[in-house]
């Protein structure tokens, strides 16, 4: 099956959802192309639209991706540690 690459998009032009751990970008069909951060870390570069046959190639550098568990770091300061004086 041949790839149906609609366009090549820089990752900086995509929107990152830290809750879902997914990058997305508007598709001409009205839906959006999607690719999970773990797929990008694994070397995948094709984002697909779940509503049509279009795909985009994501241009990115692995070292610039958000670090694993990066979204969970904000929750850590909420932990309270009792200090003895």
Residue 84 pLDDT class (50, 70, 90 cuts):
low
Mean pLDDT of the chain, nearest integer: 83
Model pTM score: 0.72
- Output the pLDDT for position 28: 95
Work out the average pLDDT over 36-63: 94
- Output the pLDDT for position 77: 39
Q: Is 70's pLDDT higher than 70?
A: no
Work out the average pLDDT over 50-74: 80
Q: Is 73's pLDDT higher than 90?
A: no
Q: Is 1's pLDDT higher than 50?
A: no
Which CA distances in Å does 83 have to 28, 74, 75, 76, 80?
56, 21, 20, 17, 9
């Amino acid at each position: 099956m041949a790839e149906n690459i609609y366009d090549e998009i820089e990752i900086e032009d995509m929107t990152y959802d830290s809750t879902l751990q997914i990058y997305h970008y508007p598709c001409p069909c009205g839906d959006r192309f999607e690719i999970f951060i773990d797929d990008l870390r694994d070397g995948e570069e094709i984002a697909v639209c779940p509503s049509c046959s279009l795909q985009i190639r994501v241009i990115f550098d692995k070292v610039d991706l958000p670090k694993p568990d990066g979204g969970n770091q904000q929750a850590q300061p909420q932990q309270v540690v009792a200090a003895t004086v």
